[in-house]
C-alpha cells in the first residue's frame, strides 16, 4: 500500500463542492494494509464485471443469403481460426482474442404475431433486442415488453454503485405518443426496460451524461453558476482534491492526475461543441441539443469516453447504448457510402447494394476499437478495464430488406473477467433463439437463479 498516513480511504469517497460530486479511480490507498485486495470493498468493486450493451439497428448486410455466402458478417470458419477480412467485423481483428461471435440466432419475438402487426417490424425490433419479448401493440401508455438483459444485471449489481445503470443514445428519441403501425414511439426510443411495463429513457446529450456523472448535485442555482463559467467542474472540488493528494503516495497521485486530466479534457471537448453549435452557424442536425455533435463519430467517441470515466470512478457498471434509430435516414460519408441508412438497408438483394450497406455496417463496428483502446489504457490492480468489461453488440433484425429476424448479428468483445473464452466463432443450430444466448450469459454474470429469459428454450454453450 502506498498511502502515506497508513490509513485507507473508502472506494465510495466523493470530492464535493458547489454541488459537484467527483468519484475517484481505484487507488492503492483504498486497500487496507496487509489485506488481500480481493477481500476488500475496493477489490470487490474492481473485480466486478462491467457490462455495455450496444444496439445497431437494421441488422447487417451479411444476414441475407447472398451476404452470408460472401461472408459479409459471420465468418465462414467456426472456432478460433476465423477470417474477418471480408466481414464488417474486420475492424475488431486486432482484438480477436477478446472476441466471441455468435451466429445464426433468431429474434422471433420481433415477428408479426397477427395480421394487424404486419409492417411494424421497425417498431418492435428495438424493444425486442434486449428483452427478447414480444411488445404489445399499443399507441397509448399501456406499453408491455419485458425486463431487459442489461437491467436484470443492473438489478443484480446496481445497488453497489451510485448510479445503477445509464442508457445512452446517438439519435433523436424524444418523440411521444404513437409512431406507426399502431406502436408507441417508446418501443423505438429505448432498448432498456426495468420491467415489462417500465421502459427507461435514454440520454442523447453528452453534457447531460457528464452532469449526471459529476455535477448533478447541488441547487439549480449552483448548477447554473457552474455552467455559466468557463471553469472546470474540478475547480469546484479543488480544495478537497489538494488535501487528498497530500496524503497519497506517488503512484496514487499519478493515477489521480491522469484521471482528472481525462475529466478536464472531456469537459473541454463538450464545451467546444456547445460553443460551436451556439455560434449561429448552420448545423447539419438542427434539431439536436446544443451539446450534441453533428459528427457521428465524434458523438460516439464522446459517449464512449464518458463510459470509461464512469467505470473508472465505479459510478455505474452497466450501460446500454443505442447507436441508431430504426428507419434512420442518416448518411455516414466516412463509411464510403453516400446512401441514407434506412434506404441502404433495403438493398433489394442486389449484390452491389448489399456491399454498399456492408460499408455502413463496417463503419459502425469501426467505432468500437476506440472504446476498447480506451478501456485497455486503464489499469485496475493487475489487469485493465478491458479485461473486466463485457461489450455485447447486435440487433434483433437480420435481413432488413425483408424485415426478418432470422440469423441476427451478435457478438461479444472484452475480457469479461474471463467469463468468455474469446477468439471464438460459434454457429448456432438453425432456429436457436437469441434469448438462449442471453440467458446463459446472465448465468455467467451471476444470475444463476434465472430459469428463462424472453422466449428462451434452454441454455447455450458459450
Instruction: Give the residue among 317, 318, 328, 321 at the shortest CA–CA distance from 304.
Output: 321
Which has the closest alpha carbon to 109: 458, 394, 396? 396
Cα 301 to Cα 153: distance, rounded to the nearest angstrom: 25
List the beta strands (DSSP E) in 316-374.
Answer: 318-322
Parse the chain into domains and list their residue ranges.
1-47+215-291, 50-204+317-462
Question: Residue 269: which residues within 8 A CB-CB, separation 6 or more?
Answer: 302
Residue 34 pLDDT:
58
H or E segment and range at residue 383: strand 383-384
Buried b / exposed e over 323-352, threshold 16 CB at 10 Å, is: bbbbbbeebbeebebebebbebbebeeeee
DSSP string, 286-305: TTS-TTS-SSHHHHHHHHHH
Phi then psi for 106, rounded to 5 degrees?
-115, 150
Q: Does domain 50-204+317-462 have CATH number 3.40.720?
A: yes
Question: In a structure prediction context, what are the per-residue pLDDT tens digits for the chain, which is 462 residues long?
Answer: 344 444 678 888 888 875 678 889 999 899 886 566 666 777 777 789 999 999 999 999 999 999 999 999 999 999 999 999 999 999 999 999 999 999 999 999 999 999 999 999 999 999 999 999 999 999 999 999 999 999 999 999 989 999 999 999 999 876 666 688 999 999 999 999 999 999 999 999 999 999 999 865 555 666 566 566 656 778 778 778 888 888 899 999 999 999 999 999 999 999 999 999 999 999 999 889 999 999 999 999 999 999 999 999 999 999 999 999 998 999 999 999 999 999 999 999 999 999 999 999 999 999 999 999 999 999 998 899 999 999 999 999 999 999 999 999 999 999 999 999 999 999 999 999 999 999 999 999 999 999 999 999 999 999
**Rounded to two decimals, what is the model's pTM?**
0.94
Strand order in the sheet with 166-169: 166-169, 318-322, 50-55, 389-394, 410-413, 99-103, 424-427
Q: Which residue has the cell 444470475?
A: 447
Amino acid at each position: 500500500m502506498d498511502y502515506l498516513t497508513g490509513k485507507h480511504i473508502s472506494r465510495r469517497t466523493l470530492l464535493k463542492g458547489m454541488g459537484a460530486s467527483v468519484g475517484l479511480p481505484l487507488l492503492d490507498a483504498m486497500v487496507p494494509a496487509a489485506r488481500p485486495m480481493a477481500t476488500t470493498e475496493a477489490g470487490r468493486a474492481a473485480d466486478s464485471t462491467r457490462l455495455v450493451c450496444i444496439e445497431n439497428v437494421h441488422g447487417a448486410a451479411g444476414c441475407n443469403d447472398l451476404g452470408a455466402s460472401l461472408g459479409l458478417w459471420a465468418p465462414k470458419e467456426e472456432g478460433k481460426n476465423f477470417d474477418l477480412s471480408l466481414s464488417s467485423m474486420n475492424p475488431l481483428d486486432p482484438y480477436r482474442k477478446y472476441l466471441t461471435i455468435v451466429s445464426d440466432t433468431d429474434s422471433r419475438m420481433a415477428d408479426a404475431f397477427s395480421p394487424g402487426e404486419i409492417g411494424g417490424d421497425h417498431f418492435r425490433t428495438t424493444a425486442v433486442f434486449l428483452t427478447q419479448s414480444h411488445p404489445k401493440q399499443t399507441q397509448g401508455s399501456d406499453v408491455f415488453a419485458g425486463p431487459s438483459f442489461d437491467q436484470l444485471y443492473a438489478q443484480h449489481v446496481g445497488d453497489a454503485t451510485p448510479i445503477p445503470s445509464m442508457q445512452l443514445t446517438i439519435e433523436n428519441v424524444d418523440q411521444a405518443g404513437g409512431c406507426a403501425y399502431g406502436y408507441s414511439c417508446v418501443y423505438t426510443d429505448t432498448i432498456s426496460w426495468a420491467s415489462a411495463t417500465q421502459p427507461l429513457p435514454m440520454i442523447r446529450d453528452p453534457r447531460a451524461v457528464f452532469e449526471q456523472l459529476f455535477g448533478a448535485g447541488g441547487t439549480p442555482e449552483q448548477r447554473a453558476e457552474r455552467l455559466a463559467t468557463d471553469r472546470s467542474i474540478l475547480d469546484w472540488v479543488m480544495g478537497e482534491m489538494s488535501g487528498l493528494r497530500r496524503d497519497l503516495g506517488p503512484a496514487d497521485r499519478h493515477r489521480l492526475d491522469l484521471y482528472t486530466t481525462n475529466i478536464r479534457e472531456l469537459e473541454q471537448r463538450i464545451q467546444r461543441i456547445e460553443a460551436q453549435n451556439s455560434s449561429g452557424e448552420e448545423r447539419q442536425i438542427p434539431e439536436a441539443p446544443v451539446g450534441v455533435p453533428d459528427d457521428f463519430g465524434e458523438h460516439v467517441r464522446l459517449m464512449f469516453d464518458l463510459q470509461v470515466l464512469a467505470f473508472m470512478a465505479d459510478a455505474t457498471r452497466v450501460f446500454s447504448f443505442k447507436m441508431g434509430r430504426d428507419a434512420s435516414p442518416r448518411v455516414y460519408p466516412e463509411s464510403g457510402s453516400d446512401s441514407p441508412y434506412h434506404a441502404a438497408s433495403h438493398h433489394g438483394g442486389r449484390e452491389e447494394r448489399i456491399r454498399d450497406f456492408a460499408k455502413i455496417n463496417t463503419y459502425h463496428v469501426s467505432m468500437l476499437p476506440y472504446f476498447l483502446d480506451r478501456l485497455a489504457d486503464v489499469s485496475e490492480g493487475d489487469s485493465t478495464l478491458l479485461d473486466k468489461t463485457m461489450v455485447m453488440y447486435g440487433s434483433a433484425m437480420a435481413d432488413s430488406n425483408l424485415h426478418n429476424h432470422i440469423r441476427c448479428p451478435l457478438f461479444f468483445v472484452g475480457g469479461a473477467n474471463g467469463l468468455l473464452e474469446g477468439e471464438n466463432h460459434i454457429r448456432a443450430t438453425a432456429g436457436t433463439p437469441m434469448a438462449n444466448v442471453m440467458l446463459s450469459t446472465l448465468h455467467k454474470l451471476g444470475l444463476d437463479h434465472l430459469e428463462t429469459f424472453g422466449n428462451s428454450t434452454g441454455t447455450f454453450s458459450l
